[in-house]
């Protein structure tokens, strides 16, 4: 609210281009403005200055009202704890909610529901159940299916794995990554986890105090460890390990291979080399 | 979206009104509810408006903030105004167009009633704007204390009040969150015919109910886990303190009442 003690400028001076087909990880400390930024992308929040361009739609500060439905169909958001948004009597109806709002026929929406429920790894029998009879993890999947059913071109994920157990985390992230690849989506992942960012993202954008702090390829970002620490973050554990390794052994292993599998391979190779 | 609703919200500031004891504020606000009805002519209404204006100034809550928060209620006020203007047939006929007849008495009546409503809402909002929920509850519990003799659950009542006040902002936040989530799925809360718009609120209300019940259960559990068992033998960290300014405020209010009695017609 402007002009009151509650006023706070959430975002300022952000200029960020995201190309089609990119997997972008948006990372930052709590309150750094990540969630606020993504809500601008489909017009849930409107900028008080500046503009947002998504495909052919342009949202401008002070611009006149326009029909936001095409934009919202194009950019699907999976919110934090999406299971809170379930409301229908059956899972099927809830998944159909999005498509029906965007004018898809009942029949087609039903078919879509059957398709997406499998995508998120749940059996068809779930469709007839009440979403409130499911477990927390299943509810999350149903809610995600509800967003996927809209068939968005841009998928925006706001900490989709928050509150899940470790194996659930991996499953959900793999699900999104496979979708990203197979449907050539543009994916924007809001996360706290440098590990997730390093594993899946093509690009990383770091937010700090409402500003875009760093933006680039993961390897470039991880080379700026001090800057990351200033923003209250750190490089992922694998990169920390690589840095230490290089320091101690005097070798120069590339920091750009930082998934755990690649790391293991690199280290074993360099050990073999030493042995021979 | 919903951030403008200020019912039950606290406005942090340091003002004479903020520093008053919650008991005196509660008594004053309650008393005010009655004396507003004493006013029945221009002088008495003027007096009440002046008193309210001074109180608002003292509270350091900016007018703009109050105005924004009261906007939804203003609709009701304006509605009452027009209802009286068009339906009261007293005094001189001022204007006639077809079946529309506006009388002098109607306008006066309308303005008075609208004023009354506005003053009531303003004063009660000021109470919650300048007093933290905890203080309100403490004050209320104190004031209702004597009723314990008749086995009335005063402490529980006060606790219920403070919990509901405490959770109004949470509920609003939650509403906004779910609204956004459904809007992202193409829900439309703002246009279309009334019937459809009412149906559009189902996706909002069901999740809100579900989470409210869940939260109530969790809260009860958390309270029990920390050994809460009602007001019996419970001591307080922060004692209420009655200052001179509290007595002064109440005396001022009494003076206002006397004046209203003298000046009303």
User: What are the residue ranges spanned by the domains of chain A?
Assistant: 23-232, 236-276
Look at residue B140 and tell me if it is in a domain: no
Instruction: List chain A residues with CB under 8 Å of B207.
Output: 84-87
- The Cα of B178 is separated from the nearest Cα of chain A by a number of Å equal to 6
Decide: B41 and B264 in contact? Cβ < 8 Å: yes
Across the interface, do A101 and B185 touch by the CB < 8 Å criterion? yes
Residue that the structure tokens 């958390």 belong to: B222
Report the C-alpha gap between B178 and A86 in whole angstroms: 9
Say what the pLDDT of residue A29 is.
85
Residue with more model confidence, B12 or B220: B220
Decide: B19 and B139 in contact? Cβ < 8 Å: no
In terms of domains, do B14 and B126 share one? yes
**Pair of tokens at residue B64:** 């703009």
Say what the pLDDT of residue A190 is.
94
How would DSSP label each residue in B30-74? HHHHHHGGG--SHHHHHHHHHHHHHHHHHHT--HHHHHHHHHHHH
Decide: A28 and A206 in contact? Cβ < 8 Å: yes
Interface pTM, i.e. ipTM? 0.85
Look at residue B231 and tell me if it is in a domain: no
Specify the DSSP element, H or E, that contains A188. strand A186-191
Report the C-alpha gap between B257 and B28 in whole angstroms: 11
Tens digit of each residue's pLDDT (9 = 90 or more) over A44-103: 888 888 888 888 788 887 777 778 888 888 999 999 999 999 999 999 999 999 999 998
Look at residue B44 and tell me if it is in a domain: yes
Look at residue B235 and tell me if it is in a domain: no
Range of the domain at B117: 10-131+241-263
The Cα angle at residue A168 between residues A259 and A126, in degrees rounded to 5: 140
In terms of domains, do B206 and B250 share one? no
Look at residue B34 and tell me if it is in a domain: yes
Across the interface, do A42 and B206 touch by the CB < 8 Å criterion? no
Decide: B231 and B155 in contact? Cβ < 8 Å: yes
Look at residue B232 and tell me if it is in a domain: no
pLDDT over 90 percentage in chain A: 39
- Write the residue in A72, A76, A146 that is nearest to B183 by C-beta: A72
Across the interface, do B13 and A150 touch by the CB < 8 Å criterion? no
B19 pLDDT tier (thresholds 50, 70, 90): confident
State mean pLDDT over B51-60: 89
CB-based contacts of B23: which residues, under 8 Å, 6+ apart?
Answer: B139, B142, B143, B240, B242, B246
- CB of A5 within 8 Å of any CB in chain B? yes
In terms of domains, do B87 and B111 share one? yes
CA-only gyration radius of chain A, Å: 21
Q: A232 — alpha (psi -120 to 50), left (phi > 0) or beta? A: left
State mean pLDDT over B122-151: 85
Decide: B185 and A69 in contact? Cβ < 8 Å: no
Report the C-alpha gap between A119 and A179 in whole angstroms: 9
- CB of B1 within 8 Å of any CB in chain A? no
CB-based contacts of B228: which residues, under 8 Å, 6+ apart?
Answer: none
Quote the number of domains for chain B: 2
Say what the pLDDT of residue A263 is.
84
Say what the pLDDT of residue B90 is.
74
Look at residue B138 and tell me if it is in a domain: no
Tens digit of each residue's pLDDT (9 = 90 or more) over B180-229: 999 999 888 777 777 777 888 889 999 999 999 999 999 999 999 998 88
By the 10 Å C-beta count (0-12 exposed, 13-18 middle, 19+ buried), A210 is classed as buried
- CB of A82 within 8 Å of any CB in chain B? yes
- The Cα of A174 is separated from the nearest Cα of chain B by a number of Å equal to 23
Q: What kind of fold does domain A23-232 have according to CATH?
A: Rossmann fold (3.40.50)
Specify the DSSP element, H or E, that contains A57. strand A57-60
Report the C-alpha gap between B24 and B27 in whole angstroms: 5
- CB of B9 within 8 Å of any CB in chain A? no
Tally of CB atoms within 10 A around B110: 21
In terms of domains, do B31 and B121 share one? yes
Look at residue B152 and tell me if it is in a domain: yes
Tens digit of each residue's pLDDT (9 = 90 or more) over A8-53: 677 877 888 888 899 999 998 888 888 888 998 888 888 888 888 8
Decide: A23 and A201 in contact? Cβ < 8 Å: yes
């Amino acid at each position: 609210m402007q002009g009151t003690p509650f006023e706070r400028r959430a975002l300022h001076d952000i200029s960020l281009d995201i190309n089609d087909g990119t997997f972008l990880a948006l990372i930052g400390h709590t309150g750094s403005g990540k969630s606020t930024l993504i809500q601008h992308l489909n017009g849930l929040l409107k900028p008080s200055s500046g503009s947002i361009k998504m495909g052919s739609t342009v949202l401008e500060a002070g611009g006149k009202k326009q029909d936001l439905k095409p934009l919202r169909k194009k950019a699907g958001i999976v919110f934090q704890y999406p299971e809170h948004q379930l409301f229908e009597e059956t899972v099927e109806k809830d998944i159909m909610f999005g498509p029906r709002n965007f004018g898809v026929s009942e029949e087609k929406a039903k078919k879509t529901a059957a398709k997406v429920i499998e995508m998120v790894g749940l059996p068809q029998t779930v469709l007839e159940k009440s979403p409130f009879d499911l477990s927390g993890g299943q509810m999350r999947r149903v809610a995600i299916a509800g967003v996927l059913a809209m068939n968005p071109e841009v998928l925006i994920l706001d900490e989709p794995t928050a509150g899940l157990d470790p194996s659930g985390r991996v499953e959900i992230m793999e699900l999104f990554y496979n979708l990203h690849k197979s449907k050539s989506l543009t994916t924007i992942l809001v996360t706290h986890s440098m590990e997730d960012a390093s594993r899946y993202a093509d690009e990383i954008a770091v937010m700090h105090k409402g500003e875009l702090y760093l933006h680039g390829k993961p390897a470039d970002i991880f080379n700026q460890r001090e800057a990351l620490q200033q923003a209250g973050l750190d490089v992922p554990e694998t990169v920390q390990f690589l840095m230490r390794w290089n320091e101690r052994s005097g070798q120069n292993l590339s920091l750009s291979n930082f998934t755990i599998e690649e790391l293991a391979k690199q280290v074993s190779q360099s050990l073999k080399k030493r042995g021979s | 979206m919903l951030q403008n609703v200020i019912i039950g919200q606290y406005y942090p500031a340091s003002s004479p009104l903020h520093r008053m004891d919650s008991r005196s504020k509660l008594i004053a606000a309650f008393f005010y509810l009655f004396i507003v009805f004493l006013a029945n002519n221009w002088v008495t209404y003027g007096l009440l408006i002046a008193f309210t204006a001074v109180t608002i100034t003292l509270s350091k809550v900016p007018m703009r903030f109050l105005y924004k928060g009261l906007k939804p209620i203003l609709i009701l006020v304006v509605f009452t105004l027009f209802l009286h203007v068009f339906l009261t047939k007293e005094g001189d006929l001022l204007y006639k167009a077809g079946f529309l007849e506006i009388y002098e008495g109607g306008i006066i009546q309308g303005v008075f009633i609208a004023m009354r409503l506005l003053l009531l809402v303003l004063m009660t909002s000021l109470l919650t704007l300048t007093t933290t929920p905890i203080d309100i509850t403490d004050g209320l519990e104190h004031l209702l204390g004597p009723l314990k003799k008749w086995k009335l659950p005063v402490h529980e009542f006060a606790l219920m009040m403070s919990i509901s006040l405490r959770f109004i902002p949470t509920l609003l936040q939650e509403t906004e969150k779910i609204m956004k989530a459904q809007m992202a799925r193409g829900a439309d809360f703002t246009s279309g015919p009334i019937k459809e718009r009412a149906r559009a609120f189902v996706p909002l209300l069901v999740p809100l109910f579900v989470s409210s019940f869940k939260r109530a259960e969790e809260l009860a559990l958390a309270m029990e886990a920390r050994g809460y068992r009602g007001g019996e033998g419970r001591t307080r960290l922060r004692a209420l303190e009655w200052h001179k300014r509290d007595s002064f405020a109440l005396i001022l209010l009494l003076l206002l009442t006397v004046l209203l009695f003298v000046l009303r017609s």
